[in-house]
Amino acid sequence: MDETRQQENPSAHRSFHTEEHAPGKGSGRKVSRQEKNPPPGTVAESDSRRGEEYAKESDEEGRRETGRRGRSQRPSGTKDAEAFTGVDPQDPSGQPRNG
């Protein structure tokens, strides 16, 4: 078995110890004349709605909400066989589906 060792990497030390190896801060960047003024035109506003707004309106067949989950409290849900769009979705109930 080969000996396990870490290779020397002096650039890594310089990268993480900038106070020792980097020059001091300069006077900073000069803001250009164009940057001092706001851009021409108006602020663009979206004409469309957010996904949450669509979800509140729609009651898709085969989908059920299961409440909010986890620390983030994101909405969650499940779907039945009729919500699957594959070539041969499996219906767990064994009942023929209307199509």
Average pLDDT, integer, range 30-49: 84
pLDDT of residue 28: 83
52-85 per-position pLDDT tens digit: 777 777 677 777 888 898 888 888 888 887 777 7
pTM: 0.29
Q: Rg of the Cα trace of the chain?
A: 29
Provide the β-strand partners of residue 67.
76
Which has more pLDDT, 84 or 19? 19
Which has more pLDDT, 4 or 76? 76
Average pLDDT, integer, range 12-26: 85
pLDDT at 89 over 70: no
- Integer Cα distance of 81 and 87 in angstroms: 12
Q: What is the DSSP letter of 18?
A: H
- Integer Cα distance of 60 and 71 in angstroms: 27
pLDDT of residue 95: 56
